[in-house]
Chains A and B, each alone.
Chain A
Amino acid sequence: MNLQDCYEKLGGDYENVLKRFRREKMIEKFCFKFLEDPSYGIYLERMDEQDGEEALRAIHSLKGVCQNLAFNRLYAVCEAIVADLRQEDPAAAIQKRGDLDDCYRQTVQAIQEYKLANGK
């Protein structure tokens, strides 16, 4: 499994990220770094606490990360949730929780598979 396959699996745009990051090493480094990004966890916590503003910042942060790494699938879900929260419609955001969880899990899984396959 190479990085391109990983991107295909997590629904990302490998060409885009390569164009911007220039080197595969860079992409790989930040993909691993993504596994440590706390934004997703913070979002879930803040939503449980019904703190809309902080939740918005967390999901916005995740959206930015996905955008940077060209994780398009996860990015799309984040963007929809950001739009909901910006319009102060938390109900709509909560409805998208399932999609978010699925996408996030797929993304993390894909990266971890890549990590295992390449012995890193």
Chain B
Amino acid sequence: MIEKKKKSKKKKRNLKNTIQSYLIISFIGIVVVSILSFSWLGFYMTEQSHHAFHQIGSLFMSQTSEQVSKHFESVINLRFDQVEGLVSVVPSQTQDLDEIYDELVYRAQVRGFDYLALCSEDGEFQTLLGDSIHPLKIEPFLNALVQGDKRVAVGEDSEGKELVLFGVNADYGMEDGKQSTGLVAAVDLSYITDFLSLNKPDQMMYYCIIRDDGSIVIDNPEIELADPTQFLPGELVAAAAGEEESPYSEQAFLEALGSNQSYSSTISHDGSDQKLYSIPLSNSEWNLVSVMPYNQLNNILEDLNHERTRYTIISCSIVLAFMVVVYIGYYRLSQEQMKELEKSRQAAAAANRAKSEFLANMSHDIRTPMNAIVGMTAIATAHIDNKDQVKNCLRKITLSSKQLLGLINDVLDMSRIESGKMTLAVEDTSLKELVEGIVSIMQPQLLNKKQNFKIDVRDIFAENVWCDGVRLNQVLLNLLSNATKYTPENGEIQLVVREEPSPKGEDYVRIKIMVKDNGMGMTPEFLSKIYDAYSRADNDRIRKVEGTGLGMTITKFIVDAMGGTIDVKSEVNRGTQFDLTFDFIVAPEVEYNMVLKPWNMLVVDDDEFLCKSTSDTLKTMGIHAEWALSGEQGINMALQRHKMHDDYQIIMLDWKLPGMNGLEVARKLRHYLGDDVPILLISAYDWGEFQEEALEAGVSGFISKPLFKTTLFHALRKYMDDEEPEEKETQGEKPFLGRRILLAEDNDLNWEVASELLGEEGFEVEWAEDGKICLDKFISSAPGYYDAILMDLRMPNMNGYESAQAIRKSDHPEAKSIPIVAMSADAFPEDIQRSLDSGMNAHVAKPIDLDEIIKVLLRFFNQS
């Protein structure tokens, strides 16, 4: 056992460790996976944003550069238009050169040119306005003019000031007699730089203009160049040349310049990336080069990356923290579950243990009476001729059989309760008969143990109630037999039945029953599980006492099913008290006019409550009762009356009185009062044993406790010469003469028995051989013809249930009102319920008992 427990504990610990390590490993796994995936996401996003940035940069640059080149073209074209306009308005055919020159100068000034010169085919310049000017690279300029094109170029004046030259083809006479190839007008270089906003600082992009061979036309101080005359990306990228990733190639750049194509690439300078873009400008050998350093963008990008990394880490931490919470929660939950599992396992084990203990007890409890039966049978067989011994054996066999039967009944009841099949058969029950029955059953046991049994019935006015009398009987017998079992010899056992108004209404009555003993009592621990099945006051003291331990469970179940309550108070070695409370419906009583002659009466009992309640009851019957609490007092009171010649007309004495007992008191009373006054002895004991002695002492008769109203009425009436009318009623007359009953019964013999018995009471009985005939007879009868129907349940063609249903559904005026009483050998509560469900009013079990049938029929006849 201990080994097993250890194993189970070890197993439990192993399971716990497995769960723990599983949780830890999976948590670490999730942390690693989360970190990896978040890092990868960060890295990937950075790469992607770099890429996107580059793409956006390229697009932005190409767009911007194209715009700038268009702007350049329009700015340049504006000036060309002016110069061409100049040429078109000043005719070249005029002979007077001065006039032409003046005209040209004048118009050039008007158009805002600072310089004007004519240029010959061989490159000589004749200055017309301003200082002398010449282009920095003259050949391409001249070639274009000779070919009739217009050309823009950068030049210098004599002071070295940089100018923009606009040359168009023009044929004017020069001073040296030659003919000019072109007319060249110039403005300050700032015209282009300002206009194109090339040299403004703090821009995202820097522009410069270079020629096709890479030489600088207009530089930009923001672009650092090794040689201020030459745009050499080769040098620019020298630092990055070693990096294979740099997509720039000088050759490709120069080729693009030479072939008037745009070029885009990334170059590296001083470790920072720059975007390079070039686009050819029209009417020149120039190219607009834009450079965009990524530094600034990179900073933003870096900031963005940092921000993203930070948020990634934060969100990763939040996710992980949440996971931790979830894991801890889950861990706790699983721990709880384990505990619950363990608890229910233990509960199941305990229940199992209780059942096996119960079985062990049962087998012992069954074996004991069984052994007695077998043994006694053997003894009886061996001494078959010895009548006394055989009788003795049979007596013992009977006792053991009863004990065995009780055990089996308990177990069957329990199994009914556990399968939910126990139902109550509620019927008109007489409390008087019930308590009287209990008293007579308990008497032998009580006498056997010489226990003092007190029974007290107080203020019971509704003697008949609707309840399951058999089950209530079972409850009381169980409580009382427990009380005798656990109370030592000469102990005291008390049964008190009281009646109170019920809170449920006028139709109800509250019945309170107390069963009290001064026996061994119960410990609080046992008391807490007294109603648990399969438990028994497991104490050495009571090992000797037989029983299944189911009695209290069954009792509790029955009390609950009846809607009652049961309370128990107990103290070890002091005794136990059970209090039962029920609210029952009051059954209509057969109306008796319970009034007696207005006699004077004396009640002698040591129980004041009994005296009071008895005298109250007697008063309702018209008797004037006085009481005495002891024999001596009773004798004194009787003597006083005797002296005044006003004797009590009847005296009731308790058998057990303190000091002088009832018999002695009776003897003395007889001595003083003579033979006329009836003296009645009241007792809860079987008076058979002391009957002779009592009669000798002068007792006239006996009344057995409990003292219900009807008990008193019937007992006292005998002494008032009042009996005759009733005798006449029951024997002489036939009280039910003229009442007609339809009896459905398929068995010939049973029908005859019922018919004879009922016939003696004056009933006229008609026979229906089955349910169908019964239905037909009823339907075809005149209203009021039958007073009631008695219905067997099991019949051919149509059974009793069907027949009753059909009758209730029929069109007959009394279909709903005619009393139908089931009369059957099927007397299980289910059968009774089924007969009530099918429309019958009551159920009487076979064998046919006339009293029982009349009692039930009276109920309906009285109602109607």
User: Measuring CB to CB, which residues of chain A are less than 8 angstroms from any residue of chain B?
Assistant: 16, 20-22, 26, 29-30, 33-34, 36-37, 39, 54, 56-57, 60-61, 63-65, 67-70, 82
Contact = CB atoms under 8 A, between A and B. Distances in A.
A20 B749 contact: no
Given A60-B825, A61-B794, A67-B825, A20 B848 contact: yes
Contacts of B849: 20
A90 to B, nearest CB: 17
20 contacts: A21-B757, A22-B760, A29-B756, A33-B749, A33-B752, A36-B748, A37-B749, A39-B747, A57-B795, A60-B825, A60-B826, A61-B746, A64-B846, A65-B747, A65-B749, A65-B750, A67-B846, A68-B753, A70-B847, A82-B825
Given A20-B850, A37-B748, A39-B747, A60 B753 contact: no
Which 6 pairs of residues, A with B, have the shortest CB-CB distance?
A: A67-B847, A68-B847, A61-B747, A64-B825, A67-B846, A60-B794
Interface in B812-843: 824-826
A22 B758 CA distance: 12
Contacts of A82: 825
Nearest to B826: A60
Contact of B756 (A26, A56, A60, A64): A26
Contacts of B444: none
Contact of A68 (B750, B760, B796): B750
Contacts of A30: 749, 752-753
A43 B126 CA distance: 156
Nearest to B823: A64
A95 B281 CA distance: 125
Contacts of A60: 794, 825-826
Nearest to B845: A67
Contacts of B846: 64, 67-68
Given A30-B752, A36-B749, A68-B749, 9 more contacts: A30-B749, A30-B753, A34-B749, A36-B748, A37-B747, A54-B796, A61-B747, A64-B750, A64-B824
Contacts of B825: 60, 63-64, 67, 82
Contacts of B757: 20-21, 26
Contacts of B756: 26, 29
Nearest to A79: B825
A99 to B, nearest CB: 19
Contacts of A20: 757, 847-850
A21 B752 CA distance: 12
Nearest to A54: B796
A69 to B, nearest CB: 8
A86 B596 CA distance: 53
Interface in B721-755: 746-750, 752-753
Contacts of B750: 61, 64-65, 68
Q: Which among A20, A68, A70 has the greatest number of chain B C-beta atoms within 10 A?
A: A68
B662 to A, nearest CB: 32
Nearest to A17: B847
B450 to A, nearest CB: 31
Nearest to A68: B847
Q: Which among B760, B824, B825 has the greatest number of chain A C-beta atoms within 10 A?
A: B825
A75 B632 CA distance: 57
B749 A57 contact: no
A60 B752 CA distance: 17
Contacts of A56: 794
Contacts of A29: 756
A20 to B, nearest CB: 5
Interface in B762-799: 792, 794-796
Contacts of A67: 825, 846-847
A16 B760 CA distance: 19
Q: Which among A16, A34, A39, A61 has the greatest number of chain B C-beta atoms within 10 A?
A: A61
A77 B350 CA distance: 41
B796 A57 contact: yes
Contacts of A37: 747-749
A37 B795 CA distance: 16
A65 B825 CA distance: 10
Nearest to A56: B794
Contacts of B748: 33, 36-37
A41 to B, nearest CB: 13
Nearest to B850: A20
Contacts of B826: 60
B149 to A, nearest CB: 124
Nearest to B794: A60
A57 B753 contact: no
Contacts of B792: 64
Contacts of B752: 30, 33
Nearest to A30: B753
Nearest to A34: B749
Nearest to B849: A20
Nearest to A35: B749
Interface string B795-816: 1100000000000000000000
Nearest to B747: A61
A56 B793 CA distance: 13
B765 to A, nearest CB: 15
Contacts of B796: 54, 57
Contacts of B753: 21, 30, 68-69
Nearest to B746: A61
A70 B756 CA distance: 17
Interface in B438-485: none
B116 to A, nearest CB: 135
